[in-house]
Structure 1
Amino acid sequence: MIKLLSIAPKHQLHRDQILDTLWPSLEPLSASAQLYKAIHYARKVFESADQTIDAESILQFHKEILSLTAPDGVHTDVNAFRNLVQEARRTDSLKDYHRAVACYGGDLLPADLYERWTEELRESLRLTLIELLLESGQKSVRAGYLADAADAFRRALSIDQLNENAHQGLMRVFALQGTRSQALHQYKRCCEIFSRELDITPSLETTKLYEDIRDGKIVPGASFSIKKAPLTSTVQLPKFAPLIGRQEELKAASNALDLLSQGKGSVLIVEGMAGIGKTRLAQEFYQLSQRRGFITMLGCAYEEKNELPYSPVVEALRMAINQFGGIPPSGKNSVHLLPAELTAGIPEFPAIPAISVIEEEMAARGYLFAGLLRFLKAVAAEAPVVMILEDLHLADDGTLNLFMYLARNTADFPFLLLGTFRSGEIETSSSLAGLLSSLNRGQIAKRLALPPLSKEQHQKLLAQNLARGEIDVQLAAEIFSYTEGNPLFAIEMLDQLKKAGKIELKEGTWKLDAVEKPYIPGSLQILLAQKWNQLSQKAQSLLNVIAVAGQQTSLILLESISDIPAEKILDLLDEMFSLHLLKEAGLSFQFVHPLIREALYQQMSYTRRRYLHETVARTLGELYENDPQSPIEAISGHFLKGGDPQRALPYLIQAGDRAAAMYAHEVAIGYYRQALDVVPSIRNAKLLEKLGDQLGMLGREQESAAQYESALSVCNPEADSSLRRKAAYRFNLSGDLNNAWRHIVEGLEKQQGEENLEWVRWQYIRAHYHWQRNEFREAFTIAQKSLKAAERLNARDEITRAYEMMALCCVPLGEWQKGLEYESQRLSRLDLNHYLTDVSDVHL
């Protein structure tokens, strides 16, 4: 209790916090008794140490708050270390850095390594030490103290051998010392460690450093500096004309940013029809945030059925990185907080080891979401953070769940979350409807519905886009009759009329041609047809490929598909840029608006689309062969649309596996079902088992059991017992005990009485069956017997489950003391990742 108070903020905690932390398994009355006993004994110890002190003033308990105090304050080595770290970074003095490092006396509370309440702070202090060592090493190099630098980097590696920055630092130090062979050997060690521990290779940055050292580009006497990412954006923001007709929305945005400056987060939702200006408002919001110096990130979901889970969030994180010309200092220091499942799609981030797979849905997804939240909080400590996620109506379920999680946690730190979605899509997306319902019910978000522009606003918009001169009222009214206040359609139609010579500037006013009746497109398809006709034949063919490839496409894909040289492809792309069909996006390019891509896609014949989809799929497969970051989701979708389900099958299964590894279980189920549906003749037992596993993770027990039974009908004999055991377990959980017993009987008959590991696992299922039937004494006897066999086999997980079942049986039998003893035995053997596998069992 004293340890807990010593590391708590202000050295005080509420009574309930202490009870939940130290005695979580006890009933409230019993836990309270333990607390009062601990307070009594602690005060006795204080009194025995010094008869003159008032023990009650040292350990105060007032209004449910327990506080640790002292006349001269409470001093801990943790606070001393933190203060020295702050001082070192304030003075930027090497001497102060060395003092801070020397103050670190080892891991926090080493006698309590396995107490959960110590883990987060212990890890935080350890990471602070590593950061301090890296900073100290870099400063030592710049000052010319290479030996001190080498010591700092070595100590960092002794704590975390996977810290790539420390490997880089040592390589540079050795090179600057003139021991090039030692520097090259350090790179070899780095490669070996990364291969052994993570099965990956060092980053391109480390490899480039190795090549520079190998080629003699870094030699003794060469300057050395490690640049910090600047806090000002390096992105050249496009200049937009003033936003028309959105004053109320801009006021709401400005208010939200004002609150953000005060450290208060909030959530905004922007909705409206296609082309109404949601993206334009988001761009305006983006610029307002940038001008205030906030860290701003933007991601978008696209209309691709097979999209990587959480891709809008990944895109937003990448934008934030590129916005600062690298990872911001706060982000770089906190990158370890991000789950590896998210950073796998962000090559700018250093590689992060993936944790062991946690199979329980809520805990696993909670880990991923909480990791991102912790990262955002760390970044927000440097400057307020704004995250904009566009087109939520196209987002996967995982992204929507993550949006809701972040929305619930914006209040206590400077983080503003803005989402946009297309109205009219709610009916077709139950997940989006659920998100909006939750936001409304909890009054978490402010919704901004964008209406069409009025006739006056519409006319101002047209005049603005004509740059000079007024616009004739009749012309504006004619365009308004087609676009009905939709800004995107209005601007596109006006631009087309101007280029076609249908309108002209007369006496300072743009008017319709008096001689010829103007041709005004009646739909976006007609508008695009006009632009289409301005393209060369090769550009049209290339644009067809781009439209099939997706909303965003890379040059390397087009080079691989076509036989056109890269230089010529760039010329053809310039044609499309000049007509505002495409825009550049980093090293790739995308359609100016998803509707443009959709219109072009629909105008193609079915035969042409099918042929191009197959070509794109085959090319992507070749480009990303054996690449762990292969766009398998896109490849599977293209093969399906290309009419080749057999070739889509392995990619669908891989996409399901990837989604499952990221805890996006609904998405994984969708891919596995697609794999089974597109090739009905395939009855793959492993695939059916994977589908059953994912359904079980979501608590859909009957469906899960049905998939295991289907797998049993086609599986190899070796897999029969495992599948049958899984089916029995799910039937147990669903309450279908007749089917559960049927599988238990068949499974045990095949064991032939041999008490091996599989027999032990079956005993747990059998005990669980009796527990569900309230036959607690029978369940206890079976669990006790399985415990002996498991101990003989030294099977840790099975021993843990046996103790669990025995403890659960003791509760209804009234044998509380025994139950607590068995629970204590279970907890002493518990491994979190293994335990979470079965947490979906409701009684746990």
Structure 2
Amino acid sequence: MLVRDLKLAGDNSTAQPLRVFMLGRFEVEQGNRLIESEQWRSGKARSLFKILLTRRSYQISRQEATELLWPELDMDRAANNLNQAVYSLRRTLEPDLEKPSNSAYLRTEGAKLQLNYNLVGWVDLEEFKRLYHQAQQNNSLDLYAQAAALYSGEFLPEDLYEDWSVSRREALRQEWTELLLKMAALHKEKGQEEKYQRCLHRVLESDFSHEESALKLMQSLSENGRREEAMQVYRQFASKLQSRLNMEPLPATQELYQDIVAGRILVRPTLSRNIAPVPLVRPEFHPEPEALINTNWPQTLQSYNFNPLFPAFVIPEETSLAGPEIIGRQEEQALWKNQLETALRGKGSLTIFEGEAGVGKSHLLQTLAGQARLAGFQVLHINCHPEQNDLPFNPVSELLEQALSRMGSTELQDCLKYCNPEIARLLPGMAHLFPGVQPGNPDTNPEAVFAAAAQVLSWLSRNRRIVVVLDDLQYMPGPSLRMLRFWLNHPALRSLVFLAAIRPGAREMASPELARLLQWGGGESNQNFYRMTRLEKFELAQIITRKLGQPASPELLDLVLDITGGNPYLALELVACWQKDNQLQLKNAQWERKNDWDNQLPSSLTGYVRRMIANLNPEAQVLLSLAALCGPIFSFEILRQIVLYRQDGAGWWIELDKTKLGQTLTEVTGSSLIEETRQEYHFSYPLLVETLIAGLSHSQKLCWREVIGWAQKKLESGLLEWDFKHDQN
């Protein structure tokens, strides 16, 4: 929309038009000048300006303004406050104003306040509504897209709890959802499936409970060969419904999820669906390893300029493949570059990163996968999860379908000529290509299925090296892990590169199959195991600066480090919540807290910590709660005495087995939630203690503290040795 014509009188002719942003942020540009947050003389003046912008003709009565801004005050005091707010608003917009009556921006006419309509040159809210209504009238995808580009977030997010903003925000949120759904429908009509899915994703980002969008997105993803992503959509949707609304998805949504998990949703017909069924009788294929290595490939990444023959797996959009390097992970990136260069010489590898929740494992995997993709590798990405135990070969099936479903018809036909038809048992979505072979349990003929899968990967890696990314490897079912080890030792797959992440304690508590994989290192193959640590203080300062746009003050940085212990996710979530709740302010180009910290943690942060704890077994969770009541630092002997207290009949309700105390403590330390020094243990970061204690009922805290007090007295009175001998007898 064009800036309104300025027809100003006399001394108003030099006033600059205003450009206002209210969607996703509040920002005012006055000509070429940005009015900074600290330049607003008062918060109420700022609120008055926002309210005026939402009213017809930018005017409001004095009475309504006072009722909205000071509902708790009597009329006289509220009117006085309004006069002060009007004065502050004028001074903000016109610092050199001498007389109020000469204000070019804010006029007072009797009982009304009005912004000069001609000087409000552009407001993103008004432009959004104008474009949206035009798009509705013309059913224009271009106009919908222009309107969507303006909607950078919710209406005035800093005023979420202001009564005067609620109704407008809800109305806009509804319009935004309707706009996205109409855009999705138009993309669907044009066959633009990825854009259709993106619109549905954005609906769920705005309204997590919009079940229709979740259902359509799951259906579309599964029909396009992206079954893992479809299942992830359901899990996130169901989790949010349960945690926030205490509800379950509708039966139709649950049924679709079960169909997707079981592989009953066929991949939508594409070019690859038009090929003729592959004959069952074909020459047996035994590729020689040397034949699979293109000797013309360069030996280093610097000289590697590959022109891909077919598309690889697309890394999630939030990962910028050409963006800035990861902060604080130079050693990991150097290791990965060496692995890629080694793979180009025909030598594969298994690289595993271990790290606590929130340390950045998934983000690191996505970024390293992006670097591999830019270097010309095709990247296959699998997220493992506990539900896959019911479908032991599901991760492998996902991996193969991911690669094959993105191939053209000729490529797919050529590929399937050289593989055993038993591969159909791993590919329920492509079973129609193998008449005579029924999809079923691969365990009925595992040797043939393993060999068939290896043949597919051999063919795929002839012209383009493969990187397989496995997030949360500890959840991969045993049969899939066996196939992974089979691939790692297969002579035709020497150049295959695996990049995986596991959670802390996975090695100590590993299943036999996972333990064998973690110990793998045969032949000329290469394995690297790397433990990711939390960020140092200077690294934490860098990621906070990137998040907030300005650096944190030394005091704020120290506070964040003390609370989170350097865990990057927790640190970023903490400062983001403080900023959203208007608890931070810019002073001397640095962010600092407006007030001292009141020891209250954001709910999103405590919820994340609870999910971290929930991944442990019940005994480990009890042990952590007891340790939290003991304090940030505690000794093993305190815990042992608490367990022994059960002999007196008073501590029976503490569900800890003294014979498993050492094992449970090992699991907890392996999770990186607590750390061990020479004579004692301490929590990795204080917010763990606060979250654990907050999760206990009042009666639990009283009873458990009684037991802890008893144990401390026994230690102080020197009765520990007698108790130990008594326990041994």
TM-score band w.r.t. shorter chain: 0.3 to 0.5
Determine which structure has the larger helix proportion and give its number.
Answer: 1
User: TM-score normalised to the size of structure 2?
Assistant: 0.38
Higher relative contact order (CA 8 A, sep 6+): 2
User: TM-score normalised to the size of structure 1?
Assistant: 0.33
